[in-house]
Structure 1
Amino acid sequence: MDEIDLERTEITGNQELPKVLYIVPWQKSDPGDLMGKPVNTLLDEVLAPIDRGEFVRQVRYYDELRERQE
C-alpha cells in the first residue's frame, strides 16, 4: 500500500484579535431552501406556555431526587 505523510496545518494569527471562525460553504445554497422557518423546530415547543400543575410536579420531583442524593 502507498502511504502519504501529510504535515499538520498550523494556523497562527494576531493574538490580540478576538477568536472568530467563519465557515463558508463550498456551494451556494438554493434561495428556496432558506425561505420560511424549518418544519422540525423545537422553538415553538420551548416557548409554549406550560401547565402550572405539571411544573409544580416537576419541581417536587427534582427536589425529592436531590434530597435522596444528599
Structure 2
Amino acid sequence: MKLIPMCLCLSLNCLSLLAYASDEEFDMDICIQETVRDCQDSVCMRGSPADCIEQCKKDAEEKCAELSKQSL
C-alpha cells in the first residue's frame, strides 16, 4: 500500500495552523489533535496499519512544536 508522504499532509495543514496560531493563543493539544485528525483523514485509510496513525501523531507533535515556537 502506498501512502502519501506525511510531510505533504502536514504541509497542507500548515497554512490553516499558522492562521489559527496568529488569531488566537496557541494551544499545543488542539494543534496536535487537529493535525493528527487531518492526517488520518487524508493519508491513513480505514483498516490501515497502526503505524500510519502513530506516524501521524509523531509528525503532528514535531510540526506543532515548530509552530509553537513561531507563535511566541
Q: TM-score, normalised by structure 2?
A: 0.28
Higher helix share: 2
Q: Please identify the structure whose Cα radius of gyration is greater.
A: 1
Q: Which has the higher contact order (CA 8 A, sep 6+)?
A: 2
Q: TM-score, normalised by structure 1?
A: 0.29
